[in-house]
Structure 1
Amino acid sequence: MKMKKCKRRSFGCVLRTFALAAAVVTLNYFKAGAQDGNAGIQQANTQVRSYFESGTSLMYAIGAILGLIGAVKVYSKWNAGDQDTSKVAAAWFGSCIFLVVVATIIKSFFGL
């Protein structure tokens, strides 16, 4: 592509010069930002890993609370003589087991 010679102070010349300057500044900015990318990724990795211990403990606590709520609901259905007590018990027990298994897998997967 052949570039036309710019006449001094023409709009096209000023526009091309501005576009070239903007491109150079942008490339320099991205080059400087890329150098800090690895440090930023490492810092994010460290912060996220520090939350896993608290997150798994929170999941165990939620599982315990759901277990207690489920036990009360199943007990009340059982005392009322409902026929679907086993379905409700299986659902609540399954949800508690799921939370405990997910928390355990997260803990073992990330080596905590």
Structure 2
Amino acid sequence: MRYLLIFCCCLLSSGATAQPGITEMQQAQQNLKSDFFSALDCALVLAAIFGIVGAVRIYHNWQMGHPRIDEQVAAWFFASFFMMLAGVFLKAVFGL
């Protein structure tokens, strides 16, 4: 009985080492890397767009004589800064 149990354990362990799907996992990792870097580029482009649109709107309000533009400057700056940090955070989380 004891030898039968040892034999069964040996069969189970030999089957566990021969897992299929190594190439599929490598392909999935490669797809994740390529999609992630395009998402990182998209985050940086959105940050640049936020910065440009914010600068134009703040300049327009400043020229029109609006007395309080400090809040708008901070809002547009931190929106752009958040998008840049979101890309860096995703890069750190996924380890890519």
Normalising to structure 2: TM-score of the pair? 0.66
Name the count of aligned residue pairs. 77
The root-mean-square deviation of aligned C-alpha atoms, in Å, is 2.2
Deviation, 1:73, is 0.5
Which of 49, 72, 76 lines up with 1:65 in the alignment?
49
Aligned-partner Cα distance in 1 for 2:58–2:95: 36
The answer for the alignment partner of 1:86 in structure 2 is 70
Aligned-partner Cα distance in 2 for 1:96–1:41: 37
Deviation, 1:41, is 7.2
Aligned-partner Cα distance in 2 for 1:40–1:70: 46
Q: Which runs of 5+ in 1 are unaligned?
A: 1-34
Bigger RCO of structures 1 and 2 (CA < 8 A, at least 6 apart)? 2
Aligned-partner Cα distance in 1 for 2:85–2:24: 29
Q: Structure 1 runs of 4+ off > 6 angstroms?
A: none
Does residue 1:101 correspond to 2:85, yes or no?
Answer: yes
Aligned-partner Cα distance in 2 for 1:73–1:89: 9
CA deviations on 1:10-56 (whole Å, 9 max, x unpaired) are xxxxxxxxxxxxxxxxxxxxxxxxx87x5697244442232111110
Residues 1-112 of structure 1 aligned to structure 2 (within 5 Å): 42=25, 43-112=27-96
Structure ID, larger Rg = 1
Aligned-partner Cα distance in 1 for 2:79–2:68: 17
